[in-house]
Structure 1
Amino acid sequence: MSRKNRTEEHKTRKSGTRMAEESVESEAEEVMSEVHLGCPPGFSVPHLSHFTFSIPPGLIEPRSSNEDSQVIEATTCSQQTISFDKDGDLILPRRKTNCAELSNYSYSLTIQHSITSTLPSVGLQVWRAELVLSDFILHKMFTSSELDGVVSLELGAGTGLVGILLARVAKTVFITDHGNEILDNSSKNIELNSELIARGTKVYVRELDWMDPWPPRLSIEESSGKTKRYSWTLSEIEIAHEASLLVAADVIYSEDLTDAFFSTLERLMSLGSEKVLFLALEKRYNFSLHDLDVVANGYLHFRSYLRSEEDCKGHKCGTEPCFVGKRIDITEIPQYVKEYERGSDVEIWEIKSNYNGVAK
C-alpha cells in the first residue's frame, strides 16, 4: 500500500461514533509541557515567559532591525593589531566590545503561551523540542550565512518562537498552524518581539491544515464575503513554493497527524525549489498492551517514513517519494537557550526528498 493510500485510510477508518468519543475525550484531557512542569498554581493565562539566548564569545551576532544594535566582532579578546602612525607613535585601537561584554552578551524573547492545554491546543504551549530546534537555528545563524536571505516555512509553529528567530536573517518567513486561537497567539508573539525582526523581512501567519491537500484553498467568510485573516493568497503560495527551508518541532505525537504531516510534506517538497526540513521531536514512551512493554510507537511510526542515505545510494527509492532522514548529533549544538533542560529523548532530523523540485 502506498504512503498516500495509507494516509487516506487513516483519515477515513474511524466511524462517526468513535471519532466523536475520541474528540470529547481529547478535548477534556489537560496536558502540560515539560518546560513548565513544577510551575506554581496561580500563573496567569496566557502567561508571558522570557527566554534568554546567550551568545558565546567569538561569534557574530546576527543582524536585526535595530540599527543601533551591538555587533560582536568575530575575534578573541587576545587578538590585537599593532600599528604606528607617520610619527612612529603606537596606535591603540578602541575596542567596540570589551571581554566582559563579549562573554556575557545575550538577548531575550518574550513568548505568550499557556501553562496547560487540551490535546488539540498543544500549540499554545512551549515544548522542549521547540527550544532544541531554536538552539540549532541559532547555531547556524551564529556560525554561517547559510540562512541569510532564505524563504522559510514553519510547519505546526505553535507559539512561533522558531519562526521569530529565523526572521532575524531570513527574507520571508511563513509561520503556519491550525486554528485561530493558536494563530492569534503566534501573531501576538510576533508583535511582542517585533524589534528582533530584520528590517525588510516579511513574516506571514497562515492557516495550514495537514488534513487538507496542499496548496491551501482561499477561504472566504460566508457572512461578510471577506477573506479570512489567516488565509493564503495566490502570490503567497507561489512564494512558499520557493522556500528552501522547512522547520517543525514537536509535531510527532499522533499516527494520524504524522501521516497527514508527511502527505503535506510530500506535496510541498515536490514543488518549486529544492527543500530541506529540520524537524525536532521528543520520543514519548507509553505502556503498550500489545507489546507488553513501554514503547515509543509515535516515534517508530515516524521512522517508518524515513530511509537512510545508504539505503538510497546507487538506486532509486521506487516510484513513490522517498524521504531520506539523517539524525543530527545535538551534543555538538551549544545550548543557547538557558531556561530548559534538554534531556536525552530529544532529536533533530534533517529530512530531504528524492522528489525535490519535481512538480507533479
Structure 2
Amino acid sequence: MEEIEVMSEIHLGCPPPAATNEPFLSRFIFSFPSNDHSSLDNDGDLLLPRRNYSSPSFTVTIQHSITSNLRHVGLQVWKAQLVLSEFVLHKICTSSEFHGIVSLELGAGTGLLGILLARVAKAVFLTDHGDAILANCAKNLDMNSSLFHPHTVVNVRELNWMSDWPIEDNRGDCRDPENFCWSKQDFEQVKCASFIFAADVIYSDDLTIALFSMLRRVMSFGCDKVLYLGLEKRYNFSLDDLKVVANGYTCFRSYVKEDGTGEQEKRSFVGKRVDVTQIPQYLKGYDRGEDVELWEIRYVL
C-alpha cells in the first residue's frame, strides 16, 4: 500500500515534472480582501465604498512533489493545510493571539503554515518524519526567509510519532542542526509552546492512534497548549459496512469529545469546530469544498 501513488487535488493542472521525482515550484499568492462594507455619513447618506483592486498581497514559493507514495505525502500540499494556513493568517491580521508565541507543528510537510507563523511568532518548530520531507521543508523555509520577522527563530526537527518523545531525562545536546535533531534548548522552548498545529494528518488509523498518543505527552508537557487541527474527510467504500464511510474521521472522533456535549472528563481531548465559512479565502484558485474541518482542541488533565 505504501507504494501506491497519490496526488493532492491542489496539484491538478500542474504540468508533469520533466523527470521522475523532480520537485515542482508553486507560488501561492495570499491577497488581503478589501473592506467593502457600506456605511453612512454624518447626514445619513449612503457612502459607497471604493473597491481596492490592488489589495496588498504576498507570495509564498513552495517546492513540492506533484505525486508521491503514502510514506511521502508530506512532499505535497494538501487542502486542509491551505485552510488552516488561511485561518492562521486571519488570526494574524485580526488579533495578536499568535504574536510572540512559541509554536509546534506536527506533520509540517512542505512548511507552508510555518512560513506564515514565522511572520509574527517568537519561535516556530516544524516537525515531520523522514529525511526527504525534512530536507524539502528546510528548503522551503530558506526560499521564503525574507517573509519572516527578523527576530523569529524557525527550526525543522525530526519527530516520529511512534517514539517516546519527549523524554526529559534522555535529552542529547544536538550540535548539528542539519541533522534535524533536538537540543536541550529546543526542549526548553517547546515546554513554552502555547499552540500546536497539524493539518492533513488524519488518513490512517495507525497514524491517528500514534498522533493522539504523542499529543497526550506533548500537551502534558510544560504550559497549557491549544491544538488547531485541520482535516479533510476522506471517504471509501467499506466491505464490512457495505457503504461509503470516512474511517479516518471516525477514528479521529473517537478521541475528541465535542465541547458542550457533557461534563469534561480528566485526561481527555475536548474540541470545538471552527466555522470555516467565517474565514476569508486569502488564497484564490482552489475550492475548499464541504469536507474540510478545523478543530480547536484542548487536553483536560
Unaligned runs of 5+ in 1: 1-24, 60-74, 80-98, 356-360
- CA–CA distance in structure 1, aligned partners of residues 40 and 126 of structure 2: 42
Q: In structure 2, the residue corresponding to 1:56 is in which secondary structure?
A: coil
| Distance across 2 between alignment mates of 1:159 and 1:317 | 36
2:18, 2:274 → 1: CA distance?
36
Equivalent in 317, 321, 324 of residue 265 of structure 2: 317
Q: TM-score, normalization: structure 1?
A: 0.75
Secondary structure at the residue paired with 1:153? strand
**Deviations, residues 83-137 of structure 1 (Å, cap 9, x unaligned):** xxxxxxxxxxxxxxxx676752111100000000010000000000110001100
Amino acid at match of 2:115: I
The correspondence for 1:336, drawn from 268, 273, 282, is 282
Which residue of structure 2 lines up, in the alignment, with residue 153 of structure 1? 104
Percent identity of paired positions between Structure 1 and Structure 2: 56
2:9 matched residue in structure 1: 34
Note if contact 1:51-1:339 (Cα within 8 Å) is conserved in structure 2: no
Q: Structure 1 residues 269, 39: CA separation in 2 closer, same or farther (over 3 Å shift)?
A: same
Unaligned runs of 5+ in 2: 42-49
Tell me the residue number matched to 2:151. 200
Task: Find the partner of 1:121 among 72, 87, 97.
Answer: 72
Is 1:189 matched up with 2:137? no
Cα distance between partner residues in 1 of 2:171 and 2:213: 20
Q: Does 1:283 align with 2:233?
A: yes
What's 1:304 paired with? 254
The code of the aligned residue for 1:256 comes to: D
Question: Does the 8 Å contact 2:124/2:155 carry over to 1?
Answer: yes
d(CA) in 2 for partners of 1:113, 1:125: 5
Across the aligned residues of Structure 1 and Structure 2, the Cα RMSD in angstroms comes to 2.4
Higher Rg of the two aligned structures:
1
Residue 260 of structure 2: SS of its match in structure 1? helix
Residue type at the aligned position of 1:39 = C
Offset, 1:184: 0.3
Higher strand share: 2
- Contact 2:173–2:182 (8 Å) recurs in 1: no
**Partner residue of 2:26?**
49
**How many residues matched?**
289
DSSP-derived class of the 2:116 partner: helix
Counting only pairs closer than 5 Å after superposition, residues 1-360 of structure 1 correspond to structure 2 as 25-26=1-2, 28-42=3-17, 45-57=22-34, 103-215=54-166, 229-313=179-263, 316-318=264-266, 321-355=267-301
State the secondary structure of the residue aligned to 1:135: helix
8 A contact 1:220–1:227 mirrored in 2? no
